[in-house]
Structures are given as structure tokens and as C-alpha cells.
Amino acid sequence: MTAMMKATVFVAPGRIELVDKPIPAIGPNDALIRITTTTICGTDVHILKGEYPVVPGLTIGHEPVGVIEKLGSAVQGYQEGQRVIAGAICPNFNSYAAQDGAPSQDGSYLIPLHQCGGHGYKATAGWRFGNLIDGTQAEYVLVPDAQANLAPIPDGLSDEQVLMCPDIMSTGFKGAENANIKLGDTVVVFAQGPIGLCATAGARLMGATTVIAVDGNDHRLGISKVMGADVTLNFRNCDVVSEVMKLTGGRGADSAIEALGTQATFEQALRVLKPGGTLSSLGVYSSDLTIPMSAFAAGLGDHRINTALCPGGKERMRRLMNVVASQRVDLGVLVTHTYKLDDIVAAYELFANQRDGVLKVAIKPN
């Protein structure tokens, strides 16, 4: 009989279930990872609500920390029993898109159609876990193109310390990288959820000397101070655009990072910018955006808007874990709750409704 595992699957909008599924069989370029810790992402909540479509029965989740259970015959440089992570984005680095500098947008969507995944470009198609293939909220996950996507965990780092690396840290830091931050810059980070907090930390590491964190939750604003914010603004208590202009002597911010995905935060991020400033957009938007003419200087203000899907691959993961190992930032503090995989429906209810000061939930299969 086929060995079975527990897995969290999308059933229909508003409904996920923990079911039994066969443990995946791997091919020569794959690895089977026994999950020791994973987590729930805001994108998973979009899936649960039906705002991002996936096929019913798909195992969701995309943030794996675990141990190599089995290696494909072609995978070299790793060993079974080794602790590893893999990026939430696990592209085929042989693809045209990857070699063109956009691996997160590669042709992996072609593989289910029995076509070559190295061809074609499609936005977000480098995101496979819990999107195109079964994901990580399970006892085991198959990692495709394992030699390019598995990253060994340095000795001495706990699961919780590296749990943010596959997605949240990679995404937040990419927001800072895309913001074109220079030494001495003023950067405003809108929304201090887990991604925004990582963007705040990333902005400081990139050389910003004034990091302004914006949120409506004083608890999260307090954590943003730990992550590197110099100034915190609660949008419920002040006009954020006016306050930023006061803080910058009317000049405006050099960069703004939008980490929520709403019209209001996007528009404010644009309005706080100086002419020639950069808006780095990380939000997952569920409706059309409108760009106000005045904030955009009618298209004549030399503004730059950059969007991103978090980078993946073993080198990206290695670098992020180096940041953690060097104690430049402690993201373990973002893990506020721990649940067993058996209780994942309750964990979703907590996380989706943002109760009890939750930031990130560690999910433990055993």
C-alpha cells in the first residue's frame, strides 16, 4: 500500500481541511523533505478566501523547514538526514526566465501541461509550492529542482530562526532592495505585518538612516522599533503624509515601501515620495489600483514604481540565513504562536482574524 501523510488542502472558498494524501514519489531531480516546521502566510489566507485561485484538493503552504528524507538520483551535494530550507519560490534555474534575470516568473506553469518548464514566462509561475504543486502544510513536501533550491541550515540555528527566510524575509528584504535605498536615505514602510517588519529591518541594513514605520496597531509599531524603525506613525492618530513632510522638511521621502496591498496604502506611499523617489510595492492587490494624478505629478515626477515576487533559490536562502546567523536581525521574535498540524484549521482562524497579537504561527507536524 502507498504510504500516507497528513496534508492541508484547499476545498472551496472559506474551507480548508486536513486530509490523508499519498507521500509524494520523487523524480531524479527532486527531493522529499520531512517538514519539521512551516507557517501560514497572508497569501494562504487569500487562497482560503477564494481571492487567489488554486485547484481544489491542492496542498497549500509554501514555507518549508525540514529534513531531507529522500534524494533524487541526480541530486548531488546533499545528504539524507540533512536539515534544509527551500525558498517559497522554487524556480527552474535552467529556464529562459531565470537566465533573463527573472526566475520568479519562469515557465513552471507549463509542466502540468506536459510541456518544457524551461520555456515561457508567466507572472508568479516560479511560485510552485501551494500554487502549481502540492505545498508545505503537510508532513512531507516534494522539492523540485532540488539541487538549485535546497539550502542547508547552518549549525546552531533553530527552525524558528530560519522560518522567515523562505518567504517573509526574502520578500521584505526584496522590498528594501527594490526601493533603491542609499546611505543616509529616509524610507517610509507602510504596514508592519511580518513582511513590513522585514522590510523595515531590510531598509536599515541597506543604509537608510531614518526609517519611518506606519501602521494602525501600536503593538506592531513597538516591534518595528526593535526591527530598526526610527519613527513610528499610527495612521489612526495622524495624517501620515503631512507628518512625513514635516519630518523631511517638506522634501519628501527618498523611498516608500508598500507592504499591505490596498489602494489607500499604495496611494499614501506615492504621496510621501520626493520627486525622483521610488515606490517599492510588495502588497498582493485584490482589486484594480488607481494612480492619483497629483501624487504622480501627472507622470512627470521621475518617480519609479517597482514590484516584486520574493526571490528563491539556494544562494538567496544562504545569504538570508547568513544575516540571521550573524545576528544582524532576529526574526524569531515574529513567531508568536505554535500549533500542531492537526490543529491547523484553528491556526488559520487565529491568523486570518489577526487575534491575540499574532504575527506568524509555527506549524509543527509532530
- 72: CATH: 3.90.180.10
Same domain membership, residue 280 and residue 329: no
Is pLDDT at 2 greater than 80 in this prediction?
Answer: no
d(CA 229, CA 168): 18
Kindly give the residue spans of alpha helices, DSSP state H, lying in 236-343. 240-247, 263-271, 314-325
pLDDT at 116: 86
* 41-80 burial code (b ≥16 CB/10 A, e <16): bbbbbbbbeeebebeeebbbbbbbbbebbbbbeebeebee
The pLDDT mean for the chain works out to 95
Picking from 307, 336, 355, the residue at the C-terminal end of a domain is 307
284: confidence class by pLDDT, cuts 50, 70, 90: confident
Q: What angle do CA 231, 232, 236 make, to 5 degrees?
A: 145
Q: How many CB atoms lie under 10 A from the CB of residue 152?
A: 17
Q: Which letter does DSSP use for residue 287 in this model?
A: S
Q: Euclidean distance between the first and final Cα of the chain, in Å?
A: 23
Task: Choose among 121, 183, 145, 80: nearest CA to 313.
Answer: 145
- pLDDT category at 109 given cuts 50, 70, 90 is confident
Q: How far is Cα 194 from Cα 199, in angstroms, rounded to an integer? A: 9
Same domain, 297 and 272: yes
Is residue 1's pLDDT more than 60?
A: no
The Cα–Cα gap between 320 and 173 comes to 9
In a domain, 266, yes or no: yes
Q: Are residues 10 and 157 in the same domain?
A: yes
Q: What is the average pLDDT across 347-356?
A: 95
* pLDDT computed for residue 256 by the predictor: 98
Residue 280, pLDDT > 90, answer yes
Q: Taking residues 219-233, what's their average pLDDT?
A: 97
The pLDDT of residue 115 is 87
Q: What is the pLDDT of residue 273?
A: 98
Q: What SS3 class is residue 267?
A: helix
DSSP 180-197: T--TT-EEEEE--SHHHH
What is the number of structural domains in the chain? 2
pLDDT value of position 286: 81
How confident is the model over 213-237, as a mean pLDDT?
97
Residue 8 has pLDDT above 90, yes or no: yes
For residue 287, the model assigns a pLDDT of 87
| pTM of the model as a whole | 0.94
Residue-range definition of the domain harbouring residue 205:
169-307
Residue 208 located in a structural domain: yes
